[in-house]
Amino acid sequence: MTSRTWCTRGRCRRSGCARRGGARRAPTRSAWPCCWRASPSAARAAAARRAVPGCRARPPWAPPVPREPPWRWSPRPRCCARRGRGGGGDPPVSEPRPEEPVEEPAEERGAEPDDADDLPPATRAQVRASARAVAALVCGAASVALVSVVALLPVPFAVEGPGPVRDVLSGEGDQRLITITGAQTYPTTGSLDLTTVSVRGGPGRSLDLGGQVAAWLDDDSAVLPEAALFPPGATEQQVDESNAAAFTDSQQSATVAALTELGYDVPVQVVVTDVVDSSGAAGKLRDGDVVTAVDGGAVTDAAVLRDAVRAVGVGKDADVRVERDGRAVDVAVPVGAGQDGSPVLGVLVRERAEPPVDVKIAVDQIGGPSAGMVFALGVVDLLTPGDMTGGKRFAGTGTIDSAGTVGAIGGIRQKLLGARAAGAEVFLAPQANCGEVTGHVPDGLRVVAVSTLADARRAVEELGKGQGQDLPGCS
């Protein structure tokens, strides 16, 4: 049986005992050969391993070494003889003289090996493992960098989430969100919370891919195309100005609706603010015109004007009377079709009123028309003796016009979550939004559907008294 012993210290080359392609005599006996060693038995292989420090037995099942050194151990003064040049056989192995020092291997002195093939198998394996680790590290870093870059790419989507909640009845005196002059106000308890939606993305605030993926994984958020929330081609400034204008108009409409609900007479004018160039109104109506009648019917607010135009129908002329520079002017305006196919006059209008009571609403960093109903309820509560809320916490949303009609809004599900998180017990929702509300009401929150300011007022008063079990909900 033949076993092999592999030297891991490389004495033969380092001591100058042998070189590739030939053999030479060792300079001293201290230079012990460190080469392939053949022995007829496993016992002699073990003895050979003990004879040379740093050598270990190579098990018989180990795979062959690719490059076998061309030298072998010999007892002659030539420590490493070429195979086939004398020194045949396997002489007995003797122990080194203890009095003769053994030369320190060059590898342990810090010298570099002359060739990678001269490294022992264990060292070569470590080198290969280190190379693989470095390659894996480089590939991992490149992958992380690539993913980071991709995650920052802008996407044409926007994310809606629960926004801040504000109590319109909070504060005292001049610190109230709603201040009223020209009429007697009354103290109140409880809360009327206006709810908002936090929007990420849109013109000037592009959403990145990472934010979009995170929103998809968040049950409280909704991912929508930008076109569903913002007009095509609109800039960030235009969006901000539009939201601010809608918020201001909602405050005026809320004031008029609240005072009308309480019995005040508040005349309203419908004023043209812009004319669409491609519409039939171009060249016939002007900015600043006050619309007083359509087809003989009086126009008392924007809702009445909208209904009158729809009654005329697309493709027909509407007889419009306007007040211009202090005199009445009658014009025939062709009715066109809007984006949804509904009849439109081709003008933008706003309501102008001079209420007998001055109402100011101070809320910062909130835009859009969806707080109109809650503003109107707050004005009604402050101008009504007694505690309308009964000390309870209400929340709600919905647009409102001067006639007191409550309209649908966007982001109703996120507003429900925000209201419940703020501690609201009852949520007043527009009847038109009930389809989105059903099945998405948070635990512990009751939703009451309303269509007018009168419906909302009755719901708050009855629930404040502990009644209202028959109030309509969204189901």
Which of 68, 94, 111 terminates a domain? The answer is 111
Sequence-distant (≥ 6) Cβ neighbours of residue 204 within 8 angstroms: 235, 236, 237, 239
Cα angle for residues 46, 50, 56 (degrees, 5° grid): 70
Banded model confidence at residue 329, pLDDT cuts 50, 70, 90: very high
CATH of the domain at 279: 2.30.42.10
Banded model confidence at residue 231, pLDDT cuts 50, 70, 90: confident
Q: Tell me: do 423 and 461 sit in the same domain.
A: yes
pTM over 0.85: no
Q: What whole-number distance in Å separates Cα of residue 296 and Cα of residue 291?
A: 12
Q: Tell me: do 255 and 361 sit in the same domain.
A: yes
**SS3 of 254, please?**
helix
pLDDT computed for residue 386 by the predictor: 87
Q: Tell me: do 180 and 326 sit in the same domain.
A: no
pLDDT in tens, 340-377: 889 999 999 988 998 999 999 888 778 888 999 999 99
Q: Tell me: do 349 and 361 sit in the same domain.
A: no
Q: What whole-number distance in Å separates Cα of residue 197 and Cα of residue 160?
A: 6
Q: Tell me: do 241 and 383 sit in the same domain.
A: yes
In whole angstroms, how far apart are CA 52 and each of 1, 95, 105, 397?
21, 8, 13, 90
Say if residue 179's pLDDT is above 50. yes
In the chain, the amino acid numbered 144 is V
pLDDT in tens, 93-113: 444 444 444 444 444 444 444
Residue 94's nearest CA partner among 53, 52, 54 is: 52
Say if residue 135's pLDDT is above 70. yes
Q: What is the CA radius of gyration of the chain?
A: 45
Banded model confidence at residue 90, pLDDT cuts 50, 70, 90: very low
Say if residue 67's pLDDT is above 80. no
Q: Tell me: do 372 and 313 sit in the same domain.
A: no
Residue 273 is inside which H or E element, if any?
strand 268-275
Q: Tell me: do 421 and 408 sit in the same domain.
A: yes
pLDDT computed for residue 73 by the predictor: 46
Q: Tell me: do 9 and 91 sit in the same domain.
A: yes
Banded model confidence at residue 45, pLDDT cuts 50, 70, 90: low
Check residues 240 and 27 and name the one with the higher pLDDT. 240
pLDDT computed for residue 94 by the predictor: 46
Query: In the structure encoding, which two tokens stand for residue 285, read together?
Result: 């109506």
Q: Tell me: do 308 and 240 sit in the same domain.
A: no
Q: Tell me: do 254 and 393 sit in the same domain.
A: yes
Number of domains in the chain: 3
Which of 322, 353, 384 terminates a domain? The answer is 353
**SS3 of 195, please?**
strand
- Read off the pLDDT of each residue in 439-450 and give the average, rounded to a whole number: 94
Say if residue 36's pLDDT is above 70. no
pLDDT in tens, 401-414: 999 999 999 899 99
Evaluate whether residue 27 is within a structural domain: yes
Q: What proportion of the chain, given as a percentage, has pLDDT over 90?
A: 43
Banded model confidence at residue 262, pLDDT cuts 50, 70, 90: very high
Q: What whole-number distance in Å separates Cα of residue 201 and Cα of residue 84?
A: 83
- The domain of 298 spans 267-353
- Within 10 angstroms of residue 437's Cβ, the number of other Cβ atoms is 21
**SS3 of 116, please?**
helix
Check residues 318 and 13 and name the one with the higher pLDDT. 318
Q: Tell me: do 288 and 371 sit in the same domain.
A: no
